[in-house]
């Protein structure tokens, strides 16, 4: 049977079909749907969970593998940085049952803070990297990955990108096949990485890599598609698809296994073609290794390591190299776009983060920010986030800037509930230990919202939909030594401003936690909408400053020609923040 | 059409239903035995951003992304979004736009303005552009949520996929209890 599946759906299907038994992940675009699909469709056969962060996701999946279950840990590219500590020694211990780490990279930073190329992790950890080029391969490569993992006693890195994750294609589906594995068998020299045992294991890793290089030469993951031999192209992942369309006459060496490279196969291919190119997205990962092997090849000279590739960019590279005629492009390919206003994403109508942002702005605070919906507060008109680096960084940033002592103004940190649990707790403990006096705000909307509303250890529900114990944020803050922990209602501006003022003036570390849920997840919240009494509105523009998508400029103007406000009753949730900033009482419930 | 592949670009704003519409189109192509791919660019569009969906079908589709200027059909759910992507239309391609405005909150800053002349600019660029009063048609049918299916119906006139297959897929993918309404909406669009 055939189905239209995204790369993420196909990969999840692969985990089911090829005997996967255990899946753990922390949500992160573009990888999030993999675990959601497993939990929704395959939970009778595959256990699936949200871990508190990627490091823990990897550790529990490793435990499951040691314990005899085919397992998978899923994360976005930057999540692998968090999981790098277990990864770099997991390569030494090897696995029990087959074990896959999915890294979903985000070329073009559709929803990320950088566009790092995680194929380097494969080389760094001396583990094989598989790179599917479409949905069918996303499923098929799960099978091959489990097999390689068990044959070579290694974790396998299955590296996808946003374009693989979120594109749909036709996939042939099948039934579940299972493989029997024993449970954990005591093997202290394999599983205990103390220096004496780890030194022995490192030699095993070096030998394993040699064996994997031999495997790379013969596996059908790497295949040559002979065509005209004037141009030979080495490519993999989504770039393969762009190459096939842009250069239909060229010979292609398609790499399904991106590390280690089949260097003999590459040399053989190179010898038979006149002009050799590497077309790969992001960094020159293949190119550098091929050049280091003494093979002449061009790559990044024509195909930039900046942003995603596509058919146009591949064509442009070959046109520049003089190997493709510019007439292949559409007659309208260079048509000038029309000038149209931008449409940036915004905090939703009624979002509880808005009240906190407005209060912080009122007090002229600087905000060290974090990763989540509230990062959107960096955009105008709020412009209230001053730093954003990685998960959990906000708390350390506020302390560091304050302790450095060279900046005027008050610095407070702003972090969401899920991000605080992911990697904010340790930072907070460190700040308290080092006698910090910063104020740290946790905008607790009781969900992991930015990735589409996933549960987390604070929500009382597991990914499999079961009720569970919830972490108590206030108790955690007190337990790490914060003496001043306050709760505020972010829809009450006066209270929020007064609490923030008190806490930022206090010479002690404090935490302020908001107590309103997300407007979208787990269910939509909508109260009675508000409206603008145009006769009372002076067009001062203060309500525009809260950046709510339900407030727009109306056709009515004041005598200076400035537009008065209007509110869309369909999307307004009645959160009242605009009414609270309005100095002339012009914003009232629609019902009145 | 280039290399026997039909390229359809569907554009709009997060929350308008672009993704479901493109899902239905791709499924129709698949049921007709064609190779089909669909790719979306939606960044953080849950929060009202720009959404585009690339749908490609034919004998063999490689890249999931439509090359510049090779969109045979562009279907825009919103006027300014239609204007944003109109340059992607292939020579002789079909441009269909819903006569509907969604003014983004950024206009409230007073620094950006909604293109009130969008229809004129669209007509100047593509004289044969088709303007659809989908909201009016949906109101006549008694349900404002039918806009997407009506637009799909209008678009179906410009691409070579069988009516029976469209109706079969819409029946299968329409939200529960709305199959008959969506069938009517599709046919209303198809004859508009």
The domain segmentation of chain B, as residue ranges, is 6-108+115-190
The torsion defined by the Cα of B175, B176, B177 and B180, in degrees rounded to 10, comes to 50
Q: CB of A163 within 8 A of CB of B65?
A: yes
Contacts of B79 in chain A (CB under 8 A): none
What is the spatial distance between Cα A262 and Cα A257, in angstroms, rounded to a whole number?
Answer: 9
Q: Which of the residue ranges A153-162, B13-22, B130-139 would you say has the lowest mean pLDDT?
A: B13-22
Multiple choice CATH, B6-108+115-190, 3.40.920.10, 3.40.50.12500, 3.40.640.10, 3.30.2270.10:
3.40.920.10
Those residues whose C-beta lies under 8 Å from the C-beta of residue A89, and which sit 6 or more positions away, are A193, A198
Q: Tell me which residues of chain A, numbers 471 to 510, contact chain B at a CB-CB cutoff of 8 Å.
A: none
pLDDT score of B46 more than 80: no
The HSE-up count of residue A277 (CA atoms within 13 Å, CB side) is: 28
Neighbours of A207 (CB within 10 A): 10
Chains A & B: contacts with CB separation below 8 Å: 175
- Which residue do the tokens 């637009």 mark? B151
Q: CB of A29 within 8 A of CB of A86?
A: no
Residue A153 in tokens:
């006693």
Q: Helix, strand or coil for residue A366? A: strand
Contacts of B110 in chain A (CB under 8 A): 541, 544, 553, 562-563
User: Could you read off the pLDDT of A320-332 as tens digits, one per residue?
Assistant: 999 999 999 998 9
Neighbours of A289 (CB within 10 A): 17
Cβ <8 Å between A330 and B67: yes
Report yes or no: A336 at the B interface, CB cutoff 8 Å.
Answer: yes
Cβ <8 Å between A376 and B44: yes
What is the spatial distance between Cα A64 and Cα A71, in angstroms, rounded to a whole number?
Answer: 6
Among residues B89, B71, B60, the alpha carbon closest in space to that of B22 is found at B71
Q: CB of A441 within 8 A of CB of A411?
A: no
- Going by pLDDT thresholds of 50, 70 and 90, the confidence category of residue B16 is confident
First to last CA, chain A: 58
Report yes or no: B89 at the A interface, CB cutoff 8 Å.
Answer: yes
Report yes or no: A547 at the B interface, CB cutoff 8 Å.
Answer: yes
Average pLDDT over residues B43-54: 77
Q: What percent of chain B has pLDDT over 90?
A: 78
Show the DSSP H helices in A466-584 as ranges. 473-479, 493-505, 577-581
**Across all residues in chain B, what is the average pLDDT?**
93
Residue A398 in tokens:
């506020």
Q: CB of A36 within 8 A of CB of A28?
A: no
- Which residue do the tokens 């003089």 mark? A322
Asked if the bond preceding A522 is cis, omega within 30° of 0, the reply is: yes
- Going by pLDDT thresholds of 50, 70 and 90, the confidence category of residue B44 is low
Cβ <8 Å between A163 and B64: yes
Q: CB of B87 within 8 A of CB of B66?
A: no
Angle, CA of B185, B187 and B189, to the nearest 5°: 70
- Going by pLDDT thresholds of 50, 70 and 90, the confidence category of residue B117 is very high
CA distance to partner chain A, nearest, from residue B9 (Å): 14
State which residue of chain A sits closest to B124, comparing Cα positions. A338
What are residue B172's DSSP bridge partners? none
Among residues B45, A334, B46, B63, the alpha carbon closest in space to that of B54 is found at B63
- Going by pLDDT thresholds of 50, 70 and 90, the confidence category of residue B43 is low
Among residues A36, A244, A251, A6, the alpha carbon closest in space to that of A137 is found at A6
pLDDT score of B167 more than 80: yes
Q: CB of A307 within 8 A of CB of A255?
A: no
Q: Give me the pLDDT at residue A76, please.
A: 98
Q: ipTM of this model? A: 0.96
State which residue of chain A sits closest to B60, comparing Cα positions. A245
pLDDT score of B47 more than 80: no
Cβ <8 Å between A376 and B65: no
Those residues whose C-beta lies under 8 Å from the C-beta of residue A294, and which sit 6 or more positions away, are none
CA distance to partner chain A, nearest, from residue B184 (Å): 26
Q: Give me the pLDDT at residue B1, please.
A: 65
Domains of chain A, earliest start first: 2-218 (3.40.50.970), 222-326 (3.40.50.920), 352-514 (3.40.50.970), 530-589 (3.30.70.20)
Contacts of A166 in chain B (CB under 8 A): 39-40
Q: Give me the pLDDT at residue B131, please.
A: 98
The three state secondary structure string of B60-104 is CCCCCCCCCCCEEEEEECCHHHHHHHHHHEEEEEEEEEECCCCCC
State which residue of chain A sits closest to B112, comparing Cα positions. A341
Helix axes A7-17, A135-152, angle to 10 degrees: 40
The HSE-up count of residue A38 (CA atoms within 13 Å, CB side) is: 31
- Which residue do the tokens 């206090």 mark? A506
Q: What are phi and psi of A7, to 5 degrees?
A: -55, -40
Cβ <8 Å between B46 and A241: no
Per residue of chain A (592 residues), give pLDDT as tens. Answer: 999 999 999 999 999 999 999 999 999 999 999 999 999 999 999 999 999 999 999 999 999 999 999 999 999 999 999 999 999 999 999 999 999 999 999 999 999 999 999 999 999 999 999 999 999 999 999 999 999 999 999 999 999 999 999 999 999 999 999 999 999 999 999 999 999 999 999 999 999 999 999 999 999 999 999 999 999 999 999 999 999 999 999 999 999 999 999 999 999 999 999 999 999 999 999 999 999 999 999 999 999 999 999 999 999 999 999 999 999 999 898 899 999 999 988 899 999 999 999 999 999 999 999 999 999 999 988 999 999 999 999 999 999 999 999 999 999 999 999 999 999 999 999 999 999 999 999 999 999 999 999 999 999 999 999 999 999 999 999 999 999 999 999 999 999 999 999 999 999 999 999 999 999 999 999 999 999 999 999 999 999 999 999 998 888 999 998 999 999 998 899 999 999 999 999 999 998 6
Report yes or no: B58 at the A interface, CB cutoff 8 Å.
Answer: no
């Amino acid at each position: 049977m055939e189905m239209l599946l995204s790369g993420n759906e196909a990969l999840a299907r692969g985990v089911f079909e090829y005997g996967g038994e255990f899946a753990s992940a922390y949500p992160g675009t573009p990888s999030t749907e993999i675990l959601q699909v497993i939990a929704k469709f395959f939970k009778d056969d595959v256990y699936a969970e949200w871990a508190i962060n990627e490091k823990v996701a990897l550790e529990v999946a490793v435990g499951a593998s040691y314990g005899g279950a085919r397992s998978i840990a899923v994360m976005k590219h930057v999540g692998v940085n968090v999981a790098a500590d277990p990864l770099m020694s997991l390569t030494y211990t090897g696995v029990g049952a087959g074990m896959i780490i999915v890294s979903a990279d985000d070329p073009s930073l559709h929803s990320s803070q950088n566009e790092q190329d995680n194929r380097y992790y494969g080389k760094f950890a001396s583990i094989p990297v598989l790179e599917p080029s479409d949905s069918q391969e996303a499923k098929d490569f799960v099978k091959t990955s489990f097999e390689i993992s068990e044959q070579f006693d290694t974790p396998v890195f299955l590296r996808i990108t946003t374009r693989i994750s979120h594109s749909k294609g036709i996939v042939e589906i099948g039934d579940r096949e299972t493989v029997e594995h024993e449970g954990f068998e005591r093997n202290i020299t394999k599983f205990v990485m103390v220096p004496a045992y780890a030194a022995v294991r490192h030699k095993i890793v070096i030998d394993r890599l040699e064996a994997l290089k031999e495997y790379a030469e013969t596996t059908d993951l790497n295949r040559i598609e002979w065509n005209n031999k004037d141009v030979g192209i080495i490519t993999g992942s989504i770039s393969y698809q762009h190459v096939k369309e842009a250069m239909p006459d060229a010979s292609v060496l398609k790499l399904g296994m991106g590390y280690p490279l089949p260097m003999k196969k590459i040399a053989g291919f190179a010898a038979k073609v006149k002009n050799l190119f590497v077309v790969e997205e992001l960094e020159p990962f293949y190119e550098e290794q091929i050049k280091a092997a003494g093979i002449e090849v061009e790559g990044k000279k024509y195909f930039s390591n900046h942003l995603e590739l596509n058919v146009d960019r591949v064509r442009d590279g070959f046109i520049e190299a003089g190997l493709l005629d510019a007439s292949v492009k559409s007659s309208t390919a260079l048509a000038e776009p029309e000038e149209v206003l931008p449409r940036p994403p915004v905090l939703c109508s009624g979002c509880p983060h808005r009240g906190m942002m407005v209060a912080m702005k009122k007090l002229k605070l600087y905000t060290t920010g974090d990763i989540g919906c509230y990062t959107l507060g960096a955009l105008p008109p709020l412009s209230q986030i001053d730093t954003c680096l990685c998960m959990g960084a906000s708390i350390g940033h506020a302390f560091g800037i304050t302790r450095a002592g060279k900046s005027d103004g008050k610095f407070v940190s702003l972090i969401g509930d899920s991000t605080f649990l992911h990697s904010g707790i340790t930072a907070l403990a460190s700040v308290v230990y080092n006698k910090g006096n910063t104020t740290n705000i946790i905008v607790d909307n009781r969900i992991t919202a930015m990735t589409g509303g996933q549960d987390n250890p604070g929500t009382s529900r597991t990914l499999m939909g079961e009720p569970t114990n919830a972490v108590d944020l206030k108790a955690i803050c007190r337990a790490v030594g914060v003496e001043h922990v306050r709760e505020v209602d972010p829809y009450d501006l006066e209270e929020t401003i007064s609490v923030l003022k008190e806490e930022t003036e206090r010479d002690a570390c404090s935490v302020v936690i908001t107590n309103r849920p997300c407007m979208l997840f787990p269910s939509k919240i909508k109260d009675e909408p508000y409206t603008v009494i145009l006769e009372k509105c002076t067009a001062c523009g203060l309500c525009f400053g809260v950046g709510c998508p339900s407030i727009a400029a109306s056709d009515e103007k004041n005598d200076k020609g400035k537009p008065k406000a209007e509110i869309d009753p369909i999307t307004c949730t009645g959160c009242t923040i605009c009414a609270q900033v309005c100095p002339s009482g012009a914003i009232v419930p629609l019902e009145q | 059409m280039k290399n026997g592949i039909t390229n359809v670009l569907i554009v709009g704003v997060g929350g308008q239903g672009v993704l479901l519409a493109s899902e239905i189109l791709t499924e129709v192509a698949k049921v007709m035995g064609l190779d089909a791919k669909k790719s979306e660019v939606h960044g953080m569009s849950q929060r009202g951003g720009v959404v585009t969906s690339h749908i490609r079908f034919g004998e063999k589709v490689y890249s999931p992304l439509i090359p510049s200027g090779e969109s045979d059909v562009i279907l825009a759910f919103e006027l300014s979004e239609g204007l944003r992507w109109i340059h992607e239309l292939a020579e002789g391609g079909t441009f269909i736009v819903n006569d509907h405005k969604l003014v983004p909150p950024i206009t409230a800053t007073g620094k950006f303005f909604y293109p009130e002349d969008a229809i004129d600019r669209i007509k100047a660029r593509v004289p044969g552009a088709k303007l659809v009063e989908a909201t009016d048609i949906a109101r006549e049918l008694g349900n404002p949520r039918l806009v997407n299916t009506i637009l799909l119906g209008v678009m179906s006139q410009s691409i070579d996929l069988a009516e029976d297959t469209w109706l079969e897929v819409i029946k299968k993918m329409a939200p529960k209890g709305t199959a008959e309404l969506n069938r009517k909406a599709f046919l209303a669009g198809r004859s508009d």
